[in-house]
Structure 1
Amino acid sequence: MKSLFKEFYPLTEDEYEALWRDGIIVLDTNVLLRLFRYKEQTANDLLTTLDKLKNQLWIPNQVAWEFHRRRLTKIDEGRKAYKDVIEVLKKSSESIGLSIETFKGLGLHPVVDLERPVSTMREQLSKLISEVEEQYAANPPHAHYGRLLDRITDLYEGKVGEGFSDQELESLYKEGNLRYEDEVPPGFMDKKEKKDRPPRELYGDMLIWKETLRHARQLGKGVILVTEDQKRDWWERTTDGRTIGPLPALRKEFSSEVGHLFHLYRVDQFADWAAKRLNVKIKPESAKEIREEAKTAQGNQESIEKWIMRWDRNTTEDILKRSRIFSLSELTRGGVGEGGSAAPNQGERVDEIRSAAGLSQISAREVELLELKSELERLDELLLKISMEMKILSKQKEAEDEHYLRNLQDQYRIGYVRRRKLKTLIRSIIDSVDEVGKGGSDGDFL
């Protein structure tokens, strides 16, 4: 049976040995681009390993095209990430200082000295930022990037695929459309994400695959393909998400078209196997970085821009609406639960919370306690974000911004008073509700 369904069986040790000894080694675009994101030592260690396999390396024309188109973008992303992190650190230090100054007027603590440790922390952070900026200035990255490009170019000199003619491409695009509709791997997972892109980008994975098949068929050899792509149009996975290996459909097509073996590696797996077989030593810290990057490479990675809070004139109003606090008068009035009274629709809320929690019995006071806890959490989020916005605006000198800043400061002060009232009210309800401790301690609510 195995002879008829080889694609469903793992390779034997002899087959692995044959592939590593005689197979063509193809690196996907994402692997080459990742070299520009690794630390210098990690990139050098991996390139040294690849140099030992130089005679087996080959690069599809599509990979080379994608690499050259995207290389500078990847470099710029790295530079921007560094600058953004430094800016976040600077803003964090300033925000801490601003928060202390804001709280001073409200009274911090009669015994605990917060100002001294906060001041020390800010000084240490400022010193660290200065040291990092000095190192960056002394080690401009463009020289490193230039050396990387030279080494990669040297590795693939005379080993670039010839690609496809315009006529061949048009035919392949039509075939690609049919393959993607029928979810024939690889590449069909890109049909939504890249549907509005040019066909050479939309069908990029399929073009790499087709060119690799053609080259392997011409040489009569198997292929090892190394990729950071983790999508299911390359890999077979169990229902709980564990990766088994390359899709059987890929192995079957390769065997039918070429008559030889095909295997797929993640870059960290490839580096480990290559180091063992070639007796190449990769530093532990380099191996660790390759493993960690491989784990996080696939998926929709959030760029550092999403970690940075960016504000506009609508930000505060949006937060206020989400927090059910719509104006200074609403803050002053106190909102939900002020004075210990239940909301007008208390009966409906009791039924709703009972249903959501699967409870048959829950008192109106317990419902009020849950709502007050929720309001306190929203208010804490609001105060933090207003504080961040005040810090940003405090640097600006425009009259309009100064007026807006004063309004924010008023909101912050009133909101903080409201927070103290909420905590007092919650404590009083906790004391009055029987067996409230069954669901958690007072700390759960405060």
Structure 2
Amino acid sequence: MRPSDQTDLRATRRLSTDFSGYLRPEELNYRKLDAAATVVLDANVLLDLYELGRAPRNEVMEALRGLGARLWVPYQAALEFSRNRTTTVRNRQGKYKAIALSLRNAPEAAARELYKPVERLIELRAKARTTHDWLPQAHSLTKDDLTKMLAGTINAALEEIDRLQKEQDVTTEAVHTDDHLFLEVDELLAGKIGSPFPANELRSHVEEAVSFRFPNEIPPGYDDAGKPTDLLAAGDYLLWRQVIEHVRVIQKHEMAPVVLVTSERKGDWWVLKDGESTGAARPELIHELAEEASASLILLSLAEFVRLAKERPNSHISDDTVEQLREAATPDSGQLILSSLSSTELTALVGRLIRAMGFDNVAILRSDNTKHAFATAGGNGRRAVVGLLIDDTRRHSMTEFTNFLEAAKLDGHSDVIAYVALRPARFHVRKAAREANVLLMDGPRRYGALESELGIVAAPYEPIP
């Protein structure tokens, strides 16, 4: 670039344009959607189609078809969709089966809890040596009576879960032989899927993500740094890089909007407040797309995309579909909010989890308020030493946790587990755990273990209390 060009560039820079990502987002309407140079779909949006019932799914597909040639899917998104399609269907059916089983077991479990005070009443009567006749069976208060009474109240829920299961028309058995949804998606995306990176470019982008962007927490993708391989960890960045390069080629108008529709909720895509998305893209992403492709980024959830599409004249999208998608994007109020637990409660929960994983003796070292030297759990059987990081925003906590990981390298007698209690582990924590050959439990691994071992569904991406 010539010195005169650099001078011209500096003269045109303004806070209101070059750093617009840090300003309040403008109000969106369907006209903004229609003005977009391209609408990009993430893999999770395509996978979400398998979670919807027939009616709302058909309406979403109609909205996507209406985009015509402006619809585009990065190669990375198409790859991840193909990898995870069968698993998504299997997990959906598994959820329905698990809920149905819980509902069937609920009356007996509830009856046992309800009968406990009745048992205490019987014991109290015995101690009081009362002469007044009173029997639980005379008042329908035996365990069997209570179970039968509660079973009738749960039937409506069992009927609803059965209806939902029947509404899902792509089953695990049919996903390889009769997946009509796949055929629809395949037709929708014909000629609209990007190209993969050549091997040398792929390697360069992965190294860029892992070596520079993740340690400096440059979005997107650094929250995935704990995945088993660098290639898997770099998935979000590869998708983002493909978006930038595609837009750079097709962009015809300066700063035309580019819409990226994603079901991600993580803080390496969205600006979060109290652990939840504010609906605003990370300003770094807005800035990067503007600098590298002269385009303005609009980041949308599937629910928000469908809401905007409904505003179009002659739209066939129903209010019910918009509401269903909005509810699906909202964390379940029945989920456990880990950040609402005290340090003592978190420690007890982690202890239960580690024991459920098959360890007989567990020592938990809390990094938020202890200066324990490394110590192994006593006793016979499998032993686990757990370093529990509760608040990684405090320097003292991080120092204690780092010391724990360093000491773990010297111990050969116990299984060592690094458990990050709340938000996803920072890059340097993941790196230290990997170097110490320590099992790191954070993110999906943490939530998956809580659900599979203890049956606890925890809300993701909780705020630090």
TM-score (norm 1): 0.59
Letter paired with 2:191: G
Q: Does 1:198 align with 2:229?
A: yes
Which position in structure 2 is the counterpart of 1:147? Answer: 180
Per-residue CA shift, 1:334-393, capped at 9, x if unaligned?
xxxxxxxxxxxxxxxxxxxxxxxxxxxxxxxxxxxxxxxxxxxxxxxxxxxxxxxxxxxx
User: How do residues 132-143 of structure 1 correspond to structure 2 at under 5 angstroms?
Assistant: 141-142=170-171
CA contact (8 A) 1:237 1:243 kept: yes
- Taking only the aligned residue pairs, the percentage that are identical comes to 26
* More strand, by proportion: 2
| 3-state secondary structure, aligned to 1:277 | coil
Letter paired with 1:39: G
CA contact (8 A) 2:73 2:193 kept: yes
- Report the RMSD for the aligned CA atoms in angstroms: 4.0
Higher mean alpha-carbon deviation, 63-72 vs 232-241, is at 232-241
* Unmatched segments (≥5 aa) in structure 2: 1-13, 124-133, 338-348, 362-465
Sort the Cα spacing of 1:153 and 1:235 in 2 relative to 1 into closer, same or farther, 3 A: same
Which position in structure 2 is the counterpart of 1:156? Answer: 189
CA contact (8 A) 1:52 1:278 kept: no
Which position in structure 2 is the counterpart of 1:119? Answer: 148
Per-residue CA shift, 1:261-301, capped at 9, x if unaligned?
2211122111111211354232222211100111229xx99
Distance (Å, rounded) in 2 between the aligned partners of 1:255 and 1:138: 43
CA contact (8 A) 1:236 1:243 kept: yes
Which position in structure 1 is the counterpart of 2:82? Answer: 68
Letter paired with 1:184: I
| 3-state secondary structure, aligned to 1:35 | helix
Sort the Cα spacing of 1:237 and 1:141 in 2 relative to 1 into closer, same or farther, 3 A: closer
CA contact (8 A) 1:25 1:57 kept: yes
Sort the Cα spacing of 1:84 and 1:279 in 2 relative to 1 into closer, same or farther, 3 A: same
Task: Give the CA deviation at 1:112.
Answer: 3.9
Distance (Å, rounded) in 2 between the aligned partners of 1:93 and 1:266: 38
Which position in structure 2 is the counterpart of 1:189? Answer: 223
Task: Give the CA deviation at 1:24.
Answer: 0.7
Task: Give the CA deviation at 1:44.
Answer: 1.8
User: How do residues 23-42 of structure 1 correspond to structure 2 at under 5 angstroms?
Assistant: 23-42=37-56
Sort the Cα spacing of 1:63 and 1:137 in 2 relative to 1 into closer, same or farther, 3 A: closer
| 3-state secondary structure, aligned to 1:183 | coil
User: How do residues 250-329 of structure 1 correspond to structure 2 at under 5 angstroms?
Assistant: 250-277=285-312, 279-296=314-331
Task: Give the CA deviation at 1:61.
Answer: 0.5
CA contact (8 A) 1:19 1:261 kept: no
Sort the Cα spacing of 1:19 and 1:274 in 2 relative to 1 into closer, same or farther, 3 A: closer
Report which of the two structures shows the higher radius of gyration computed on alpha carbons: 1
* More helix, by proportion: 1
Which position in structure 2 is the counterpart of 1:361? Answer: none
Task: Give the CA deviation at 1:77.
Answer: 0.7
Task: Give the CA deviation at 1:129.
Answer: 4.2
Letter paired with 2:199: D
Paired residues in the alignment total: 306
Q: Does 1:8 align with 2:22?
A: yes
| 3-state secondary structure, aligned to 1:26 | strand
Task: Give the CA deviation at 1:232.
Answer: 2.0
| 3-state secondary structure, aligned to 2:50 | coil
Distance (Å, rounded) in 1 between the aligned partners of 2:46 and 2:238: 17
Distance (Å, rounded) in 2 between the aligned partners of 1:256 and 1:148: 38
TM-score (norm 2): 0.56
Sort the Cα spacing of 1:236 and 1:314 in 2 relative to 1 into closer, same or farther, 3 A: closer
CA contact (8 A) 1:42 1:286 kept: yes
- Return the structure number with greater relative CO, CA threshold 8 A, min gap 6: 1
Which position in structure 2 is the counterpart of 1:427? Answer: none
Distance (Å, rounded) in 2 between the aligned partners of 1:87 and 1:12: 46
CA contact (8 A) 2:220 2:285 kept: yes
